Amino acid sequence: MIQFEGVTKTYQSGKQEIHALNGIDLTVETGEIFGVIGFSGAGKSSLIRTVNLLERPSSGHVLIDGKDISTLSAREIRKTRKDIGMIFQHFNLLNSKTVFHNVAMPLILANTPKNKIKEQVKELLDFVGLSDQATKYPDQLSGGQKQRIGIARALATNPSVLLCDEATSALDPQTTQSILELLRRINREYNITILLITHEMGVIREICDKVAVLEAGKVIEQGTVFDVFTNPQQQTTQRFVRSVMNDELPESLLKQIQNPSRKNSIYRIQFTGTSVGQPLMSRISRKYQLDLNVLFGNITELQGAPYGNLIVEFTGPAEEIKKALADIREGNVNVEEVLNYAS
């Protein structure tokens, strides 16, 4: 478990003070994939780097499994770092060394016997799917392959935490997908806690369990990925969510909703799972003798499950509509009236 308690970071740049982090409180539970998203300069790198003390907090504490790491001696810090793997946006591999040597590096530093290194590196390269590239040099590999090497290297010391600093930001969408899948496998198979930072909401949607939104060195919103995606509170969060959810209503529909002389009620219905949406609509319609007019709908994938978003116009007796809404809420379905869909 990683806990941030009132963490601040102030950089001195000439005479100017830059407040990169302004009191961060966050808890990353063991075994989860926690994502931190924010625009450039929000303080994401500063935040993730306080976990392995590449950056020392100016105030506040970072606790790893309850232990405040800033109180450790240099030697203890090095020991702790061996339990925290890290991968980087630009991979940071040694260009003068082979793939094998790069992955072996953490083991060499720990004075592991040669035959044991050989065995372990082979295993790691197998795991990331690059066992045939051991004798190559990093500049002979693609970006995705380099990141796999970075991942293999980070796993060499059997860490319990993996830090990912924009690990997929230098990769194309397809390669990003495959790296994210690999990260998920690491999380599931080895139960390694992953803290990742990114500016791409797609990454968060793809693999994170929880997300925190960082803005100007503050956490402005956090929660499970589902909650944050389906019900973003802050404007910045809404912008991020919209960047991948594509749930913006068409102009004509907005006009219709905002028309002051509109008589019928319009509701937004949010549901998860494929089997929920369509059958629900027809069942409700039949049961309460209502006219349901789906004005807009889309389905996106969220944490591996489909997530649907319908804008529906209800026509019928008010009493029946009320009953119908109560019925809908029975299931794991969220309904709210859309009075003024502000976008």
Partner 1 sequence: MLVDNEQILEALWETLYMTGVAFLFSLIIGFILGLLLVVTRKGHLLENEPVSKVLNVIINIFRSVPFIILMVAIIPLTRIIVGTSIGTAAAIVPLVFYAGPYIARLIENSLLEVDEGVIEAAQAMGASPFQIVFRFLIPEALSSLVLALTIAIVGLIGASAMAGAIGGGGLGDLAITYGYQRFDTLVMVVTVAILVVLVQGVQSGGNLLSRRVRRR
Ligand X SMILES: Nc1ncnc2c1ncn2[C@@H]1O[C@H](COP(=O)(O)OP(=O)(O)OP(=O)(O)O)[C@@H](O)[C@H]1O
Q: Are 41 and 202 in contact (CB under 8 A)?
A: no
The least CB distance from residue 40 to ligand X, in Å, is: 3
CA distance 128 to 151: 8
Q: Which of 7, 26, 33, 84 binds partner 1 (CB under 8 A)?
A: 84
Site for partner 1 in 48-67 (CB under 8 A): 52, 54
DSSP per position, 187-201: HHHH--EEEEEES-H
Closest to ligand X by CB, 36 or 290: 36
Identify which range of 44-52, 104-112, 187-195, 241-249 contacts ligand X by CB under 6 A.
44-52
| Residue 52, contacted partner among Mg ion, ligand X, partner 1, none, CB below 5-8 A by kind | partner 1
Closest to ligand X by CB, 18 or 110: 18
CA distance 198 to 44: 8
CA distance 178 to 210: 20
- Listed in order, strand segments (DSSP E) in 174-290 are 193-198, 210-215, 218-224, 265-272
The least CB distance from residue 220 to ligand X, in Å, is: 13
CA distance 90 to 105: 18
Binding track, positions 183-202, relative to ligand X; x by CB under 6 A: ----------------x---
The least CB distance from residue 233 to ligand X, in Å, is: 21
Q: Does 78 sit near partner 1 (CB under 8 A)?
A: yes
H-helix or E-strand containing 279? Answer: helix 277-288
Name the nearest CA neighbour of 152 among 121, 189, 181.
Answer: 121
Q: Does 20 sit near ligand X (CB under 6 A)?
A: yes
The least CB distance from residue 243 to ligand X, in Å, is: 15
Burial class (CB in 10 A: 0-12, 13-18, 19+), 79: exposed
Closest to ligand X by CB, 18 or 294: 18
Q: Are 229 and 302 in contact (CB under 8 A)?
A: yes
CA distance 273 to 289: 25
The least CB distance from residue 49 to ligand X, in Å, is: 8
Closest to ligand X by CB, 100 or 240: 240
Q: Are 84 and 51 in contact (CB under 8 A)?
A: yes
Closest to ligand X by CB, 199 or 242: 199
The least CB distance from residue 66 to ligand X, in Å, is: 26
CA distance 37 to 167: 13
Enter the tokens of residue 235: 């404007």
Q: Does 52 sit near ligand X (CB under 6 A)?
A: no
For the chain, how big is the Rg over CA atoms in Å? 24
H-helix or E-strand containing 281? Answer: helix 277-288
Identify which range of 37-45, 73-81, 253-261, 297-305 contacts ligand X by CB under 6 A.
37-45
Binding track, positions 37-76, relative to Mg ion; x by CB under 5 A: --------x-------------------------------
Residues that bind partner 1 in the complex, under the rule CB under 8 A: 52, 54, 77-82, 84-86, 88, 90-98, 105-106, 108-109, 137, 153-154, 157, 163
Residues that bind ligand X in the complex, under the rule CB under 6 A: 11, 13, 18, 20, 38, 40-46, 199
